[in-house]
Chain A
Amino acid sequence: MATLHRVDVVIVGAGGAGLRAAVEIPEEYTCAVLTKVFPSRSHTGTAQGGVCAALGNEEEDYPIWHTYDTVKGSDYLGDQDAIEIMCNDAPRAIIELEHMGMPFSRTREGKIAQRRFGGHTRNFGEAAVQRACYSADRTGHVMQHTLFEACIRKRVSFYSEYFVTDFILRDGKAVGVVAIQITNSEVHVFHARAVMVAMGGYGRVFRITSNAHSGTGDGMYLAWHAGAPLEDMEFVQFHPTGLWKLGILVSEAARGEGGILRNALGERFMERVAPTVKDLAPRDMVSRAIITEIREGRGIKADDGTYYIHLDLTHLGKEVIDRKLPEITGFARTYLGVEPLTEPIPITPTCHYAMGGIPTDANARVLADRGGKTIEGFYAAGECACVSVHGANRLGTNSLLDIIVFGRRGGKAIAQHLKDADWGALPSDATDRTKERMARLGSGNGKESVPKIRLELQETMMEYCGVFRDAEKLGRAREKIEELKARSQDVSMRDASTVFNTDMVEAFELESLIGIADAIAMCALNRTESRGAHSREDHPERSDDDWLKHTILMHDPDGKHAITYRPVNLKLWKQDGDEKHFKPKPRVY
């Protein structure tokens, strides 16, 4: 028997986007926020470097420059209307956070301090600009807590440690959500008039990732499985500086404060690759540069035969390191035994962010297809959504901005929708798939192991679908994924308890991981050009004539997912006439 809840709106995911949306829901509506962890533990809290806006507190800056940087940073795949909205809204959004109580590092006059960050420039690419607002190197942590605190003040209803297993979409309408209560394995149905997906990214699809163990792509996968499209799945961001072997994020802020990448010869190789902005080039370029240095024999060799590059902070001084970069220097000391004051930090690229996801309009409404029609009552915001403001590559500090801008817009859109939205009929078989899965997992007959399949998947994706791709590698990835899909039908739980069964949760998460990997590999093989983070060694050029379009992927139960395309919005060029800045050009820094 499932427990039934009837609430006006269900928000799944309690990171920045979900919480900011929850804050926006008027008191008169009932709202439930579901999370598989606790609201203070969401992955937003691990973001380090900053959140950006053209506040102009340290030097002259304008939203149009920020818009330009974001469009160019996206390798022209970002939708220009949505990017313009985000960058224009940014100053208001950050001031609003400060008003909510978010602590920030301050300038001498007491304003919000700002620092340089990758890809952010003044005057349309002239030089790096100080646009990233920050709180030491734990900006995400303080933002997450500030938004959680705002929800506490508002008495938002949280359902913590509820694992969502299905979205109920019927007749073009969102009707509710099915979830398992982790503490006792009870199944719950939330019947709602609006459902928002804010469940974050899928970093755990890859072996080396900055993402928490919770980053298994459930939101994207379940929405896709329920009938929503996925967009631009081939665009996976590998952050250049993850701690060697561990993947733990070393924020771009380290380079923003003056840190330098050096190869085995001690050379500042980014000077060759991006003469203007050097180490603060967009992340996809830096990751490719690092892998290239290693491939060409200029990497530093570790005892175990793997290679890495150095991030040199030794010239920054104790004051900067202690006050501005305390968390990441803590990681270097704790996990690698390296003292950043006197030694360079070993780093390699790490899977970090999903540019693609559930396609939405600029008000977080999920699109039904490539035609622009939306699924009634279904919303998505944050990393799991694809507006698209990040296109083929995301600039640092734009994600913390994305979540608050579109979380708020989604919340407002939901409030508007709730004024006269009807209740959709709850189908009687809503919990069937979940219960059947639980029964099969609990039958104990399976011979396959979840951890083993998961590791094989992660290693396959890292090897064959990483920073540099080609048709042959991607073909191998697809074959392996098919094999793992089949094997994963034969897993069973090793924990027979109904109490806090994380073994069962991991089995459900495995389905998400495999599904997401399938989508990524398929779209990566399909796109025969290189753009942003998607780098095809067999198609090294960007081809706007053929490929200036978003990839749309519809789910098919037999695995024959259909690929179509959606046009990129080119408003600033085509409608506003600013060809100089917003017509796609070769991306050089």
Chain B
Amino acid sequence: MQVTFRIHRFDPEKQPVPKMQTFVLDNVKPTDAVLDILHRIKWEQDGSLTFRRSCAHGICGSCGMRVNNRNMLACSTLLQDLNLRKPIKVEPLPGMPPLKDLVVDMTRFYEKYEAVKPYLVAKSVLPEKERHQSNEDAERLIEAAKCILCGCCTAACPSAWTDERFLGPAALLKAYRFIFDTRDEATDERLDIIDSPNGIWRCRTVFNCVEACPKDIDVTGHLSQLKRAAVARQL
């Protein structure tokens, strides 16, 4: 079958005014992923088409982009999941400075992630063997630990679009992963960071992050628990 892609092209040197470019590809299968099509266009038609990718099976988080107005991973989105009656529109993740074509500048995204102290803090004397953790407690953080830092959630969040200082869903989810890890001892410090106007309280419970997450994490649900933890601390 044939497929038509309309792809965002931008190069600060060669194409400083962004444009949408149309590509047509034959001999595609419904089970081809968007990434497969991008590769074929790059390798067969236009070698300058640029995008990030690595593992091609939804773990590394490299290929987050906006397809038909939804953020998703290009490698995990099959053509048969899309409306093929119209050209498929492929754009970079919104809300992050574009670098070239489908590649965005992730610097601020990583800075916000680092701002929540994304590492275990445990000052108590460590046991000789592993710390014990019940399966229930271990499972509490599993959803949040699934996060692959692809950026789809933060790039789908209206609060993140309008306020550059908002930490965003991904960073807050990472804060959850540590605050609700029974082995972590920096709960107060972390709550101080996120219990702030640019932290948890800018989440308006819009649920865009939940829709966008390729790992099916209930991001809003986790952020709501953080709000409760922040409030409980005040009482």
Contacts and interface: CB of A to CB of B under 8 A. Distances in A.
A314 interface: no
Interface stretch (B18-26, B53-61, B161-169, B188-196): B53-61
Contacts of B183: 101
A451 B78 contact: no
Interface stretch (A34-42, A76-84, A361-369, A415-423): A34-42
A497 interface: yes
Nearest to B130: A98
Interface string A514-540: 000000000000000000000000000
B230 interface: no
Contacts of A157: none
A138 B59 contact: yes
A500 interface: yes
A38 B106 contact: yes
Nearest to B77: A334
A142 B120 contact: no
Given A37-B62, A41-B61, A101-B120, A496 B48 contact: yes
Contact of A45 (B12, B60, B118): B60
B100 A103 contact: no
Nearest to A161: B52
B123 interface: no
Nearest to A327: B59
Nearest to A331: B57
Interface in A1-47: 37-38, 40-43, 45-46
Contacts of B27: none
Contacts, number: 156
B135 interface: yes
Interface string A481-506: 00000000000011111111111000
Interface stretch (A146-154, A226-234, A404-412, A429-437): A146-154
B168 to A, nearest CB: 16
B145 A145 contact: yes
A105 B138 CA distance: 7
B82 interface: no
Contact of B126 (A99, A494, A496): A99
Given A106-B135, A108-B135, A499 B56 contact: no
Interface in A148-169: 149-150, 152-153
Interface in B100-146: 100-101, 103, 106, 110, 114, 117-120, 122, 126, 128-135, 138, 141-142, 145-146
B75 to A, nearest CB: 9
A145 B59 CA distance: 12
Nearest to B131: A98
Contacts of B211: none
A585 interface: no
Contacts of B31: 335-337
B42 to A, nearest CB: 8
A513 to B, nearest CB: 15
A343 to B, nearest CB: 16
B48 A497 contact: yes
A41 B62 contact: yes
Contacts of B99: 183, 499-500
Interface in B10-64: 11-14, 31, 33, 42-44, 46-48, 50-62
Nearest to A48: B59
Interface string A325-337: 0010011001111
A46 B59 contact: yes
Interface residues of A, number: 62
Nearest to B43: A451
Contacts of B110: 38
Interface in A87-137: 94-95, 98-101, 103-112, 135-136
B164 to A, nearest CB: 21
B76 interface: yes
A46 B13 CA distance: 35
Interface in B176-195: 178, 181, 183-184
B3 interface: no
Nearest to A42: B60
Contact of A213 (B54, B120, B142, B145): B54
A494 B47 contact: yes
A106 B138 contact: yes
Contacts of A331: 57-58
B100 A100 contact: no
Nearest to B103: A500
A43 B50 contact: no
Interface string A242-257: 0000001100000000
A141 interface: yes
A149 B149 CA distance: 13
A388 interface: no
A212 B52 CA distance: 12
Nearest to B120: A101
Interface string A54-82: 01000000000000000000000000000
Contacts of B51: 502
A214 interface: yes
A219 B51 CA distance: 23
B148 interface: yes
A248 B47 contact: no
A101 B181 CA distance: 9
Given A103-B145, A138-B146, A46 B100 contact: no
A327 B149 CA distance: 16
Contacts of B76: 334
A418 to B, nearest CB: 25
A585 B209 CA distance: 57
Nearest to B107: A160
A306 to B, nearest CB: 14
A465 B77 CA distance: 32
A110 B60 contact: no
Contact of A111 (B50, B130, B148): B130
The winner among A55, A101, A108 for most chain B CB atoms within 10 A is: A101
6 contacts: A41-B55, A101-B178, A153-B119, A334-B78, A335-B57, A451-B43
Nearest first, the 4 A-B pairs at minimum CB distance are A494-B47, A101-B120, A110-B132, A451-B43
Interface of A: 37-38, 40-43, 45-46, 55, 94-95, 98-101, 103-112, 135-136, 138, 141-142, 145-146, 149-150, 152-153, 183, 212-214, 248-249, 327, 330-331, 334-337, 449, 451, 493-503
Given A248-B57, A334-B78, A499-B99, 10 more contacts: A43-B60, A46-B57, A95-B129, A98-B131, A103-B141, A108-B135, A138-B146, A212-B60, A449-B43, A500-B50
